[in-house]
C-alpha cells in the first residue's frame, strides 16, 4: 500500500508518436495526476496536448474494461457483449486459430496493428510480427502504404538500405537551409519543430512546400503553395534548375552517384563489363574516359582510373558484334527534366518559375542543407516517383550524410526481434499482394495492405483470409474504402480486437480484449530518433497498474504465444527476458536501466560521410545499393516494370477537369492531421474534444463567399466516392479551389464536461 499523501515522480516517455517526448508522470496517492516534460532528458521537449492529456486517457470512462465476447450474430444491432475471463478469451482464441490453421493454412490468419507513427505501436509491432511469423502467417495489416513507405523506401532505393542500426535524420540544427515538404511539424512533430527552430536561430534558411499556409510556412524564407498532387512535377523542375544552372555538387555526383554510368539504348539496362569484352565482369559498370572518349570498366567501390565524362552519349560495338547507342545516366536525367523547365510546369504546379529557381538556388547554395517530407507526399498516385525525384534532387546537392545534412546518426545495436527467421520463405512469398507488387510496401517489410485483405475475405482470392487478430488499428476509418472494409471485416469467421475503445472495427469483433495504455505498460526503447538522442536507451516503467481488467499489449502477445505452443520463442512469457535479449548487443540490461530511470546514453561516435570509409579489401563502403553509389537510375525499378527515372504521370483525378465531372467536383480535397488528435483517436478525451469539438472543412474565404458558405455552417462535402457533413471554416490558409479536412471522426465524448461537443 502506498502511504497517504505520497507523491511519486516517474520518468518515462510518451510513445503516442515517434517524437518520443520524455515525460515525468506525477502519481499522488496512487493516482496519475499530471504529465510534464522531462527537462533533463537528451530528447527534452515540450509535450503536445495529447501527451499532457495522459491522465484523461488513462481514466477515460469510455475505455474498454474487460474481455468480452459477442453473443449475437454479426449484423444484429445488439451484439450482446458478455464479459469473459482472460483465460476463457485466450482459450477460445487458441482453439479457433488452430482450427482455421488446420483447415485453411496458417496464412488464412491475418494480424493487424495501428500505425506506429501515431500510436504506441512502434514499441509493440515487432513483437506482433514475431507472433505472426512464429504462428506461420506472412499477413500483417499495416498502414505504411498510406503513411511513410514512399519517403522511407524510395529514398532507400536511391541512397541504399542503410547500414542499420544507423538512422537517417535531418540535422536541422546545423543546416544552412532546411526544406520541409508536405509535413506540418506544428501539429505532428513537436520534437522536430524544436530542432528546426534551433536551426533557424542559428541562421538556417527555410523553404516550405505545402498547399496550405501552415504555421511553418509563415516562418519560411520561401513558401511554395503547390497544387496538391503535383509535387513530382515540381521536383523535376527543381532538378532541371539545379542541372541547368550548374548548382549541383560536381565531385559528389561524379564520384558517388551513378551519373557517369552508361545505359544501353536498346535494353535500358546498365552497360556491363561483360557486354563489352569476353573477359569483362558482369558486375562491372562502364564509364567513359572524358579525354579519350573510350569506355572503361568500373568496379563498384573502386576509385575510377579515369576522369569520367558525365553528360555524354556514344555508340559502342558490343562483344556480340552489335552496335548499341549508350547514354550516361546524367544525360538521361537531363533529357528527362528538359521536358519540365519551371516556366512549363508553373500552370500545373501553381508555383511561378522564378520562385522555383529561387528555392533551388537557396537550397543548393546554402551548404549544408537537409530535407524532411511526410504525409503530404505519401497519399497520392505518384508517391513513389515523387519521392524518388526528391531523393535525386537531394543527391545532386551532395549533402547526404554530412554535418547539417540528412545524416546517418549512430544508434544502439539491438537484436532483431521480429522473428522473420521463423517464417518459411515459401509462405513469406504468399503474402497478399506480393506477386503483384514485390517492390512495394508488401515486398520489403512484410506489410500487407488492408484492401488486399478485404479482397481476400470477400472473394477468397488468391486464398481466403478467415481470421483477423487486431492490436489497435481501426481499419474501417483508416484504410479506405470504409464501406468495403465494414463488409469484409463483418464476414470474417473469427475476429479479435485488442483495443482501448470500442471502435467501429472492434464493434465487429467476436472477442474484444481491453488493452492497457502505454502509461500502464513497461517498455524499453533504444534510439529516441532525434539528433542527440539516437544513442539513448531507456526503460519505461508503468506509471500505474493497468486499469480495470486491461492488459498491456506485450502481455497479450506473450500469453497468446504461450497458449499457441510458441512459448519457447517468447521467453516462456517473460517480457523482461525478451527485452534483455533485444538490447544485449549494446551490453545493457533491463536491471541496469531500472537503476537509471532517465535512461542511459551510449557513447557512440557521430561520423560523417561514412560512404568514404573503406572495407578490409580496400574498397569504399559506398552506399548500400548494387552499384555502391547513389542510384539516380534505378535498375531495380526498371526490372519490375517501373520507370527507372522518375517520370511524371498526372494523377487520374486531374482528368475530371476534362469531363463533366469537373463541373460537379470543382474542388481539390486534401486531408491533414490535427494537433489534438491522432487519426481516429482521442475524441473521447474531454480537454482535447473541447479544443476541437467538430469535424471541419477549411475552404478559401473567396470560394466560401462565392458559394454563400458562412463560418460554422454545416456543409456536405461530396466526391465521386462518398460524402460527409462538416462544419465550414473559411480561411486564407488554403488556396482558392482547395478544401482540407481530417479523417477518423467516429467517436463521441461522453464526459459531461464536454457535452456541448457531441
Residues that bind ligand SF4 (CB under 6 A): 14, 16-17, 19-21, 47-48, 50-51, 190
Measured from the CB atom, the residue of 39 and 663 that comes closer to ligand SF4 is: 39
> What is 235-257 written as a DSSP string?
HHHHHHHHHHTT-S-HHHHHHHB
Helices (H), 339-382: 342-349, 353-365
Cα–Cα distance, 381 to 373 (Å, whole number): 16
Cα–Cα distance, 539 to 591 (Å, whole number): 9
Report, in Å, the least distance between residue 471 CB and ligand MGD.
4
Helices (H), 59-148: 86-104, 125-135
What is the helix (H) or strand (E) element at residue 702, kind and residue range? helix 701-706
Q: Does 147 bind Mo ion (CB under 5 A)?
A: yes
Measured from the CB atom, the residue of 15 and 580 that comes closer to ligand MGD is: 15
Q: Kindly report the CA angle at 57 between 54 and 60, in degrees rounded to 5?
A: 145
Q: Does 159 bind ligand MGD (CB under 6 A)?
A: no
Burial 21-38 (b: 16+ CB within 10 A, else e): bbbbbbbeeeebeebebb
554 touches, from ligand SF4, ligand MGD, Mo ion, none (C-beta below 5 to 8 Å by class): none
Binding mask 410-449 for ligand MGD (x = CB under 6 A): ----------------------------------------
Report, in Å, the least distance between residue 373 CB and Mo ion.
13
Among candidate residues 393, 372, 417, 36, the one with its CA nearest the CA of residue 240: 393
Cα–Cα distance, 186 to 48 (Å, whole number): 9
Measured from the CB atom, the residue of 14 and 100 that comes closer to ligand SF4 is: 14
Q: Find the binding residues for ligand MGD in span 114-143 (CB under 6 A).
A: 114-115, 117-120, 143
At residue 101, what are phi and psi to the nearest 5 degrees? -60, -45
Residue 116, SS3?
A: helix
Report, in Å, the least distance between residue 43 CB and ligand SF4.
10
Measured from the CB atom, the residue of 132 and 147 that comes closer to Mo ion is: 147
Cα–Cα distance, 394 to 353 (Å, whole number): 19
Measured from the CB atom, the residue of 273 and 680 that comes closer to ligand MGD is: 680
Among candidate residues 66, 114, 6, the one with its CA nearest the CA of residue 547: 66
Q: Find the binding residues for ligand MGD in span 213-252 (CB under 6 A).
A: 214, 226, 228-229, 231
- Which region, judged by CB under 6 A, interacts with ligand MGD, from 22-30, 196-204, 389-397, 671-679? 671-679
Cα–Cα distance, 141 to 109 (Å, whole number): 11
Cα 262 from chain centre: 34
Measured from the CB atom, the residue of 476 and 630 that comes closer to ligand MGD is: 476
Binding mask 546-575 for ligand MGD (x = CB under 6 A): -------x----------------------
Report, in Å, the least distance between residue 676 CB and Mo ion.
17
| Beta strand segments in 447-599, E | 447-449, 467-471, 494-499, 511-514, 523-526, 536-540
Cβ(9)–Cβ(542) under 8 Å? no
Q: Does 635 bind ligand MGD (CB under 6 A)?
A: no
Measured from the CB atom, the residue of 35 and 110 that comes closer to ligand SF4 is: 35
Binding mask 371-410 for ligand MGD (x = CB under 6 A): ---xxx---x------------------------------
Measured from the CB atom, the residue of 157 and 181 that comes closer to ligand MGD is: 181
Residue 507, SS3?
A: helix
Please tell me whether the peptide bond between 375 and the residue prior to it is cis, using omega within 30 degrees of 0. Answer: no
Member of 33, 435, 671, 750 binding ligand MGD (CB under 6 A): 671
184 touches, from Mo ion, ligand SF4, ligand MGD, none (C-beta below 5 to 8 Å by class): ligand MGD
Q: Find the binding residues for ligand MGD in span 15-44 (CB under 6 A).
A: 17
Measured from the CB atom, the residue of 455 and 679 that comes closer to ligand SF4 is: 679
Distance between start and end Cα atoms, the chain: 39
- Which region, judged by CB under 6 A, interacts with ligand MGD, from 262-270, 332-340, 395-403, 665-673? 665-673
Measured from the CB atom, the residue of 144 and 237 that comes closer to Mo ion is: 144
Report, in Å, the least distance between residue 655 CB and ligand MGD.
17
Cβ(501)–Cβ(474) under 8 Å? no
Measured from the CB atom, the residue of 119 and 538 that comes closer to Mo ion is: 119
Cβ(390)–Cβ(235) under 8 Å? yes
190 touches, from ligand SF4, Mo ion, ligand MGD, none (C-beta below 5 to 8 Å by class): ligand SF4
Cβ(86)–Cβ(549) under 8 Å? yes
Measured from the CB atom, the residue of 68 and 442 that comes closer to Mo ion is: 442
Member of 12, 117, 229, 232 binding Mo ion (CB under 5 A): 117
Cβ(695)–Cβ(742) under 8 Å? yes
111 touches, from ligand SF4, ligand MGD, Mo ion, none (C-beta below 5 to 8 Å by class): none
Among candidate residues 226, 261, 249, 256, the one with its CA nearest the CA of residue 386: 226
Report, in Å, the least distance between residue 510 CB and Mo ion.
28
Reported as half-sphere exposure (CB side, CA atoms, 13 A), residue 89 has a value of 29
Q: Does 473 bind Mo ion (CB under 5 A)?
A: no
Member of 22, 37, 160, 182 binding ligand MGD (CB under 6 A): 182
The full length of the chain comes to 758
Report, in Å, the least distance between residue 16 CB and ligand SF4.
4
Cα–Cα distance, 362 to 346 (Å, whole number): 19
Among candidate residues 269, 390, 395, 394, the one with its CA nearest the CA of residue 332: 269
Cβ(454)–Cβ(488) under 8 Å? yes
Measured from the CB atom, the residue of 495 and 673 that comes closer to ligand MGD is: 673
Q: Does 471 bind ligand MGD (CB under 6 A)?
A: yes
Which position has the grid cell 542541372? 243
- Which region, judged by CB under 6 A, interacts with ligand MGD, from 97-105, 162-170, 235-243, 667-675? 667-675
Q: Find the binding residues for ligand MGD in span 512-541 (CB under 6 A).
A: 515, 517-518
Cα–Cα distance, 665 to 722 (Å, whole number): 12
Among candidate residues 405, 401, 373, 372, the one with its CA nearest the CA of residue 174: 405
Q: Which residues contact 148 (CB under 8 A, 6 or more apart)?
A: 117, 374, 378
Report, in Å, the least distance between residue 678 CB and ligand SF4.
7
Report, in Å, the least distance between residue 52 CB and ligand SF4.
7
Measured from the CB atom, the residue of 19 and 704 that comes closer to ligand MGD is: 19
Measured from the CB atom, the residue of 47 and 276 that comes closer to ligand SF4 is: 47
Measured from the CB atom, the residue of 117 and 599 that comes closer to Mo ion is: 117
Nearest residue (beta carbon) to Mo ion: 147
Which position has the grid cell 531495380? 636
C-alpha cell at 616: 578490409
Residue 718, SS3?
A: strand
Cβ(538)–Cβ(522) under 8 Å? no
Measured from the CB atom, the residue of 187 and 309 that comes closer to ligand SF4 is: 187
Cα–Cα distance, 637 to 577 (Å, whole number): 42
196 touches, from ligand SF4, ligand MGD, Mo ion, none (C-beta below 5 to 8 Å by class): none
C-alpha cell at 593: 536501466
Nearest residue (beta carbon) to ligand SF4: 51
Which residues sit at the interface with ligand MGD, rule CB under 6 A? 17, 114-115, 117-120, 143, 146-148, 181-184, 187-188, 209-212, 214, 226, 228-229, 231, 374-376, 380, 471-475, 477-478, 480, 498-501, 503, 515, 517-518, 553, 670-675, 677-681, 743-744
Which residues sit at the interface with Mo ion, rule CB under 5 A? 115, 117, 147
Amino acid at each position: 500500500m502506498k502511504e497517504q499523501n505520497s507523491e511519486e515522480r516517474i520518468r518515462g516517455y510518451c510513445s503516442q508518436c515517434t517524437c518520443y517526448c520524455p515525460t515525468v508522470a506525477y502519481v499522488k496517492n496512487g493516482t496519475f495526476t499530471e504529465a510534464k516534460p522531462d527537462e533533463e532528458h537528451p530528447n527534452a521537449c515540450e509535450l503536445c496536448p495529447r501527451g499532457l492529456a495522459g491522465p484523461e486517457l488513462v481514466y477515460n470512462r469510455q475505455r474498454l474494461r474487460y474481455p468480452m465476447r459477442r453473443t449475437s450474430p454479426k449484423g444484429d444491432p445488439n451484439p450482446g457483449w458478455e464479459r469473459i475471463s482472460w483465460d476463457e478469451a485466450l482459450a477460445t482464441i487458441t482453439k479457433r486459430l488452430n482450427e482455421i490453421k488446420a483447415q485453411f493454412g496458417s496464412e488464412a490468419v491475418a494480424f493487424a496493428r495501428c500505425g506506429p507513427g501515431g500510436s504506441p505501436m512502434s514499441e509493440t509491432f515487432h513483437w506482433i510480427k514475431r507472433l505472426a511469423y512464429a504462428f506461420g502467417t506472412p499477413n500483417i495489416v499495416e498502414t505504411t502504404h498510406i503513411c511513410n513507405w514512399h519517403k522511407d523506401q524510395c529514398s532507400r532505393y536511391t541512397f541504399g538500405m542503410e547500414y542499420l542500426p544507423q538512422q537517417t535524420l535531418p540535422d536541422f540544427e546545423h543546416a544552412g537551409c532546411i526544406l520541409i515538404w508536405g509535413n506540418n511539424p506544428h501539429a505532428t512533430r513537436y520534437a522536430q519543430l524544436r530542432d528546426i527552430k534551433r536551426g533557424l536561430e542559428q541562421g538556417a534558411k527555410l523553404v516550405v512546400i505545402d498547399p496550405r499556409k501552415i504555421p511553418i510556412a509563415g516562418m519560411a524564407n520561401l513558401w511554395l503553395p503547390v497544387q496538391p498532387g503535383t509535387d513530382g512535377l515540381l521536383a523535376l523542375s527543381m532538378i532541371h534548375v539545379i542541372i541547368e544552372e550548374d548548382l549541383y555538387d560536381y565531385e559528389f555526383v561524379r564520384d558517388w552517384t551513378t551519373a557517369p554510368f552508361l545505359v544501353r539504348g536498346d535494353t535500358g539496362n546498365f552497360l556491363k563489363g561483360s557486354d563489352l569484352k569476353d573477359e569483362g565482369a558482369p558486375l562491372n559498370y562502364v564509364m567513359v574516359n572524358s579525354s579519350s572518349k573510350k569506355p572503361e570498366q568500373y568496379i563498384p567501390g573502386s576509385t575510377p582510373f579515369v576522369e569520367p565524362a558525365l553528360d555524354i552519349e556514344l555508340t559502342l560495338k558490343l562483344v556480340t558484334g552489335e552496335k548499341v547507342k549508350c547514354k550516361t545516366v546524367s544525360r538521361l536525367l537531363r533529357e528527362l527534366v528538359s521536358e519540365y523547365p519551371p516556366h512549363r510546369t508553373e500552370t500545373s504546379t501553381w508555383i511561378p518559375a522564378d520562385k522555383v529557381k529561387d528555392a533551388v538556388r537557396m537550397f543548393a547554395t546554402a551548404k549544408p542543407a537537409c530535407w524532411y517530407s511526410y504525409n503530404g507526399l505519401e497519399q497520392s498516385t505518384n508517391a513513389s516517383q515523387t519521392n524518388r525525384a526528391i531523393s535525386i534532387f537531394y543527391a545532386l546537392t551532395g549533402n547526404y550524410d554530412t554535418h547539417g545534412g540528412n545524416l546517418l546518426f549512430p544508434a544502439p545495436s539491438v537484436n532483431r526481434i521480429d522473428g522473420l527467421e521463423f517464417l518459411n520463405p515459401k509462405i513469406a512469398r504468399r503474402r497478399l499482394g506480393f506477386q503483384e507488387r514485390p517492390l512495394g510496401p508488401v515486398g520489403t517489410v512484410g506489410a500487407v495492405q488492408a484492401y488486399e485483405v478485404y479482397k481476400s475475405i470477400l472473394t477468397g482470392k488468391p486464398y481466403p483470409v478467415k481470421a483477423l487478430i487486431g492490436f489497435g488499428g481501426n481499419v474501417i476509418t483508416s484504410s479506405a474504402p470504409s464501406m468495403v472494409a465494414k463488409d469484409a471485416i463483418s464476414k470474417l469467421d473469427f475476429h479479435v480486437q485488442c483495443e482501448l475503445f470500442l471502435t467501429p472495427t472492434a464493434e465487429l469483433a467476436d472477442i474484444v480484449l481491453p488493452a492497457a495504455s502505454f502509461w500502464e505498460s513497461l517498455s524499453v526503447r533504444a534510439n529516441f530518433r532525434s539528433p542527440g538522442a539516437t544513442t539513448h536507451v531507456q526503460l519505461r516503467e508503468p506509471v500505474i497498474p493497468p486499469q480495470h481488467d486491461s492488459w498491456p499489449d506485450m502481455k497479450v502477445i506473450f500469453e497468446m504465444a504461450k497458449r499457441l505452443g510458441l512459448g519457447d520463442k517468447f521467453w516462456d512469457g517473460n517480457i523482461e527476458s525478451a527485452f534483455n535479449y533485444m538490447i544485449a548487443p549494446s551490453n545493457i540490461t533491463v536491471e541496469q536501466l531500472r537503476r537509471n530511470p532517465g535512461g542511459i546514453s551510449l557513447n557512440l561516435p557521430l561520423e560523417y560521410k561514412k560512404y568514404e570509409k573503406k572495407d578490409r579489401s580496400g574498397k569504399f563502403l559506398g552506399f548500400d545499393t548494387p552499384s555502391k553509389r547513389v542510384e539516380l537510375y534505378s535498375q531495380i525499378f526498371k526490372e519490375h516494370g517501373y520507370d527507372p527515372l522518375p517520370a511524371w504521370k498526372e494523377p487520374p483525378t486531374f482528368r475530371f477537369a476534362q469531363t463533366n465531372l469537373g463541373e460537379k467536383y470543382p474542388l481539390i480535397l486534401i486531408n491533414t492531421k490535427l494537433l489534438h488528435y491522432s487519426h481516429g483517436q482521442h475524441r473521447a478525451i474531454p480537454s482535447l474534444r473541447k479544443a476541437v469539438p467538430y469535424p471541419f472543412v477549411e475552404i478559401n474565404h473567396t470560394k466560401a463567399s462565392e458559394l454563400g458558405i458562412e463560418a460554422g455552417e454545416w456543409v456536405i462535402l461530396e466526391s465521386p466516392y462518398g460524402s460527409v457533413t462538416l462544419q465550414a471554416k473559411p480561411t486564407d490558409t488554403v488556396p482558392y479551389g482547395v478544401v482540407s479536412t481530417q479523417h477518423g471522426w467516429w467517436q463521441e465524448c461522453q464526459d459531461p464536461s464536454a457535452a456541448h461537443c457531441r
